[in-house]
Amino acid sequence: GESVGLHLPTLSVQEGDNSIINCAYSNSASDYFIWYKQESGKGPQFIIDIRSNMDKRQGQRVTVLLNKTVKHLSLQIAATQPGDSAVYFCAESLSGYSTLTFGKGTMLLVSP
Amino acid sequence: DSGVTQTPKHLITATGQRVTLRCSPRSGDLSVYWYQQSLDQGLQFLIQYYNGEERAKGNILERFSAQQFPDLHSELNLSSLELGDSALYFCASSPQGTWRDEQYFGPGTRLTVT
């Protein structure tokens, strides 16, 4: 498949572990945040979003935490599976605007 | 499968040339976005169209242009190509093109400029 980046920070975990992927966002005015997953050879895929009036949101096996004080976002994946191996991007946006600003991405490698 | 299609999948061309990348949005989506993904710059927003009209512009070079046609498909035109234009180009679509919309990404076009 296509390589999306050779110089990304990489997180290597064992199957079944919990994974935490971090992201520092750039604009203190951003009020909407999204995590995307990009598998090799594919386009980004929406995972979960959070608005700035929340500091935590849970989905199926995923949790996003938002710390506006330090402009930090994290994605927690519970019971990580080999199928979770991908590059994960955070994206920020201003409500009222439709454009997204993406972070650099983190590669997650899950070993069976 | 997101429902967004992009052609071609791969494109190899020489510096100075012009290419056109094509995108068909998901059925019913009115808005199309173009992104460039390169090794050094990551994923960058280029331009957005909604129902044929330009809605937002990001880091798009003057050598690049795009349009959305009445049937809602979109084309991204890249001219006077340089080596640095080599990248993955993604198209995404969304229903109404607002910040509330989830964007659905196509599989991308890999452009290699030699």
DSSP letters of A33-85? EEEEEE-TTS--EEEEEEETT-SEEE-SSEEEEEETTTTEEEEEESS--GGG-
Give the residue carrying structure tokens 């994290």.
Answer: A74
**Chain B: residue nearest A92 by CA?**
B99
Residue A3 pLDDT: 40
CB atoms near residue A47 (< 10 Å):
20
- For residue B11, give the H/E element and its range: strand B10-13
| Residue A2 pLDDT grade (very low, low, confident, very high; cuts 50, 70, 90) | very low
Beta-carbon separation of A43 and B2 below 8 A: yes
Give the closest residue to A101 by CA, choosing from A30, A3, A41. Answer: A30
A45-102 pLDDT, tens digit each: 999 999 999 999 999 999 999 999 999 999 999 999 999 999 999 999 887 777 889 9
Q: Which amino acid is at B70?
A: P
Which residues between 51 and 80 in chain A have a beta carbon less than 8 angstroms from any beta carbon of chain B? none
Pair type for strands A56-58 and A72-77: unpaired
Among the partner-chain residues A45, A97, A104, the one whose CB lies closest to the CB of B42 is A104
pLDDT digits (tens, 9 = 90+) for B24-57: 999 999 999 999 999 877 899 999 999 999 999 9
How does residue B101 score in pLDDT terms, banded at 50, 70 and 90? confident
Q: Which residues of B touch A99 (CB under 8 A)?
A: 33, 45, 48, 56, 58
CA distance B12 to B101: 33
The whole-number pLDDT of residue B1 equals: 85
Which residues in chain B touch residue A2, judged by CB atoms under 8 angstroms apart? 88, 108, 110
Among all residues of chain B, which has the CA nearest to that of A50? Answer: B100
8 A C-beta contact, residue A99 and residue B55: no
pLDDT for residue A4 = 44
Query: What CA dihedral angle connects B21, A102, A77 and A96, to 10 degrees?
Result: -100
B15, B81 Cβ separation under 8 angstroms: yes
Give the per-residue pLDDT at B74.
98
What percent of chain B shows pLDDT beyond 90?
86
As given in the structure block, the two tokens for residue B62 are 């003057």
